[in-house]
Amino acid sequence: MFSLISVFWFMKINFIFCHLSDPRCFWRIKETENDLGDKETFCLFSISTKQGYVKNDYFSWNLDKQVTPKTNHLIFSVYLALEEVNKNCHILPNISLLVNIECNGRKYDEKTGLALKIENIIPNYSCTNERRYLIVLTAPIWAVSTKLGPFLFMSRIPELYCGHFHPLLSDNEEFPHIYQISPKDTSLPLAMVSLVVHFRWNWIGVIVTSDDQGIQFLSELKGEMQKNIVCLSVAIIIQTEMSMALKELRMNYKHISMSSAKVMIVYGDKFSPIKYALTVWISQGILRIWVSVSQFDMITILGDFLLYSSTGTFIFSHQQPEIPGFEKFIQTVHPSNYSSEFYFAKLWWTYFRCSLPVSNCKKLKNCPSKTIFTWLFRTPLGMAMSDTCYNSYNAIYAVAHSLHEMLLQEVDTWSKNAGKELEFDSWKMFSILKSLKFVNPAGDLVNMNQNLKQDTEYNIFYIMDFQKDYGLKMKIGRFSGHLPSGQQLYMSKEIMEWATDIDQILPSICSMPCTPGLRKSSQEGKDICCFVCIPCPENEISNMTNMDQCVKCLEDQYANEDHTLCLQKVVAILDYRDPLGKALAGFALCFSLLTSVVLFVFLKHRDTPIVKANNQTLSIVLLISLIFCFICSLLYIGHPTMVICILQQTTFAIAFTVATSTILAKTITVVLAFKITVPGRRMRWLLVSGAPKYIILICTMIQLILCGIWLGTSPPFVDADVHMVHGHIIIVCNKGSVMAFYCVLGYMGFVALASFTVAFLARNLPDTFNEAKLLTFSMLVFCSVWITFIPVYHSTKGKIMVAVEVFSILASSAGLLLCIFAPKCYIILLRPQSNSFHKFRKPHAKAENKS
């Protein structure tokens, strides 16, 4: 009773002091002075039980004027869970959970380890063995939990830490009484790298703390970066000791400012010097796209975000469902409903400037009905729960479910002690809690077993800080680590246009992307992300950005000029529809017709001296072979087949062999005729017996044997040459055996050279109708055409190469026709008077007289 009276007078003295110092009861903090930002406040929630339904007295706790909106958010989430549990008849029936809150916004004292006095903050702190509290919830400063650990352990009170996961608190040997609600960030490195890859960034910086948590994160992040070809521009490791961090502050600032990376990943303990370092660097003008976790989502004293960036900040937060009733709960919390609470009135006055009568400091006037809702919605937090708030909400339910389970196990004991003061075994309840599994009101499965927790779900928020007191925070996607690779990251379609703009404004890359048509080439001594772009080789393409290797087009395709697309090759043949094909076919037909006319003339005038003098039979054979020479050129025009390819080479070879061997026989006949000066000699017998005619047969047989060997070993065939001409497929007759082809051609050349040599030696023999000179000149034309053909043939490609071969056939055949038969046809048709025996005898008699 005495203690209650003391507390009452203590509160009354404070009230009187406020009344004297300010007629409006409370010290009015100026708006500029009250702008504390999200200064971290350590809160300790001591949970106790009481029989029956007991309504919690909102804000009947030691209110510190420096408690921030973020802390109030945390407190509201705890009160909501308590009210839901106490009203739920299925959980702890006829038993209520009560909470005592101790929060302090003053700076954590590293020397003493505690900001509050021991007797004020330690639950069950008493000189007696009386126990009152069942369990405590702490958040969000983990360092304070470690300092409180020994005192809580001595008080036999287990602790649920609701802040962000810290590996030090997972040491069961050092902290057996502490359990962390938040799961470990096992998939966070993969999630962050997936976001970086989504925006096609490959050149980033990392800022971590030097503790085990930061070093382990950096190691895992590097592994994920290596898998996804993302390179590290700069890695800043902030020392955990403030003195060491201050010494390296300027040096680290230079490293960041000199780095070309536009994206910086921040991870570590925000209660370490990393928070101070970031504040200093950003104030000095370092603007980057920041990627971090929810614990760095905080407002500074200046009213902007800690990770200020005009281009935006990405925050990864544990995925959590929306708590039903949270918004309504906040809207219904109003001083008009709880006007008897002195501290509650003080809170409302501090934040919402309600009017206060001088006579009664507990009755507020002119307070808007939705003031707190408007205030919370105005902050960047909005109405959504933070990770710490959600953990605290689940912690209350975990305590309730574990107590309920313990009551079910000992139902007989509790029924015997009904109506007595409740006294629970905290450690037994704590043991049940650590293996508990339940579904919270939001429908989320909460698994308290540390070994079965899977941290694979993250919400991704984007924060745009426009100016002081104005910011935008929106959920833009999520990451689910349990999904297959490639489907883990989901980004909202509504922000794709915005995301593209960010990608174009701030491309965080080491080298400019290689556009289609180019490929990457690594530079010696530099990261794989730093490369040069080189064009794709011939007939290879790259149709995507930053391709490592160009892709070769198919055999029937070719690359366009930009090397970005494979086009279908055009089939090219020397066709009759082609102008060149038409011209050559026309010449072939004309010369064939002309040769037929000459043949007709010779047959009609076969009894004339000029026809008889030039060996009528050999002339007719030569004309027929020339007709075949002209006609065989038509086999080279049009789409070839296997039969046509065989006929091309054999007809060409045999026809020209007959023609050249006939010329050789005619030349030998002329020589033998002029060498017979003495009757009865053997040469006369050779001439009379027609031995020169056998030359045609022998030469043709040899050529037939060569062609037979050619066709028997490697015959010509239809071939599609895709490499000869760029962009075209040339359908040609492949020679099959090149050696056989040149043997046939060489033999034909040998016969032609022999004919030329003999004709050249007999060119001066006298006679009116001596054709030795004509044969010489014709063979000169023939040899010249085919000697020129060889280099020209090998220097051309495609259908032009076929056209060269056809032209050579026509030119050499026409040379033989015109050089040998044109003068004779001229005499026969235009000067018939010269084609007489009388004209033939005159020159012959003169030749005999001279001899």
User: Residue 351 gets which letter from DSSP?
Assistant: H
Residue 52 token pair:
């029956």
∠ CA 575-576-579 to the nearest 5 degrees? 90
Rounded CA-CA distance 401/407 in Å is 10
Please state, for a pLDDT cut of 70, what percent of the chain lies above it.
71
86 contacts 97 by C-beta, under 8 angstroms: yes
pLDDT in tens, 89-142: 888 888 888 888 887 654 444 433 343 444 444 555 444 444 467 888 887 777
Strand partners, 314: 291, 462
Q: What are phi and psi of 256, to 5 degrees?
A: -70, -45
> Cα–chain-centroid distance for residue 655?
64
If one counts every other C-beta atom within 10 angstroms of the C-beta of residue 301, the result is 11
* Record: fold of 579-850: Rhopdopsin 7-helix transmembrane proteins (1.20.1070)
pLDDT, tens digit (0-9, with 9 covering 90-100), for 261-303: 889 999 887 778 887 888 888 777 788 888 888 777 665 544 4
Compute φ and ψ for 127, nearest 5 degrees. Answer: -75, -15
pLDDT score at 375:
47
Cα 487 to its chain centre, rounded Å, is 15
- Give the Cα separation of 538 and 50 in Å (integer): 85
Question: Does residue 593 surpass a pLDDT of 90?
Answer: yes
pLDDT tens-digit series, residues 401-451: 888 888 888 766 555 555 555 667 788 888 888 888 888 888 888 888 777
Supply the DSSP symbol for 240. S
Q: Which of 383-392, 485-494, 800-809 has the highest mean pLDDT?
A: 800-809
Instruction: Report the length, in residues, of the chain.
Output: 851
Amino acid at 32: T
Q: How confident is the model at residue 503 (pLDDT cuts 50, 70, 90)?
A: low
pLDDT given at position 337: 52
Rg of the chain in Å (alpha carbons): 53
CA dist 355 and 365 (Å) reads 5
CATH 1.20.1070.10 domain extents, the chain: 579-850
User: Other CB atoms closer than 10 Å to residue 643's CB: what's the count?
Assistant: 10
CA end-to-end span of the chain? 172
The dihedrals phi and psi of 439, each to the nearest 5 degrees, come to -110, 120
Among the ranges given (107-116, 500-509, 564-573, 753-762), the one the predictor scored with the smallest mean pLDDT: 107-116
CA atoms within 13 A on the CB side of 694: 6
Structure tokens belonging to residue 765: 């023999």
Q: Residue 83 carries which side chain, given as an amino acid letter?
A: E
3-state helix, strand, coil in the chain (%, to 5): 50, 15, 35
Across residues 520-547, what is the average pLDDT? 88
What's the whole-number average pLDDT of the chain?
75
User: Which residues are 45's β-sheet partners?
Assistant: 101, 137
How many percent of the chain have pLDDT more than 90?
11
Q: Ramachandran region of residue 92, left (φ > 0), alpha (ψ -120 to 50) or beta?
A: left
Statement: residue 306 has pLDDT above 70: no
626-649 pLDDT per residue, tens? 999 999 999 988 888 899 988 888
Amino acid at 152: L
**What is the DSSP secondary structure assignment for residue 65, as one 8-state letter?**
T
Closest CA to 76 of 61, 54, 96, 93: 61
Per the listing, tokens 């609600």 go with 181
For the stretch 191-238, pLDDT in tens is 999 999 988 888 999 999 888 888 999 999 999 999 998 999 889 898
Per-position DSSP letters for 740-794, written without gaps between them: HHHHHHHHHHHHHHHHHHHHHHTTT---TT--HHHHHHHHHHHHHHHHHHHHHHH
Of residues 618, 745, 581, 772, the one with CA closest to residue 693:
618
- Which pair of structure tokens corresponds to residue 236? 């800043």
Region of residue 463 (left: phi > 0; alpha: psi -120 to 50; beta: else): beta
Residues 33, 303 contacting (CB under 8 angstroms): no
Q: Which of 745-749, 757-761, 801-805 has the lowest mean pLDDT?
A: 757-761
What torsion do the CA atoms of 336, 342, 348, 349 make, to the nearest 10 degrees? 120
Query: How confident is the model at residue 551, as a pLDDT?
Result: 92
Write out the DSSP string of 318-341: E--PPPTTHHHHHHH--TTTSTT-
pLDDT band for position 69 (50/70/90)?
low
Give the pLDDT confidence score for residue 156 in this predicted structure: 75
Most confident of 375-384, 395-404, 754-763: 395-404
Tokens of 563: 């090397």
Give Cα 618 to chain centroid, integer Å. 78
If residue 521 lies in a helix (H) or strand (E), which one and from where to where?
Answer: strand 518-522
Distance of CA 32 to the CA centre of its chain: 49
**Quick one: 91 exposed, middle or buried, by C-beta within 10 A (0-12, 13-18, 19+)?**
middle
More confident site: 761 or 353: 761
pLDDT of 533: 92
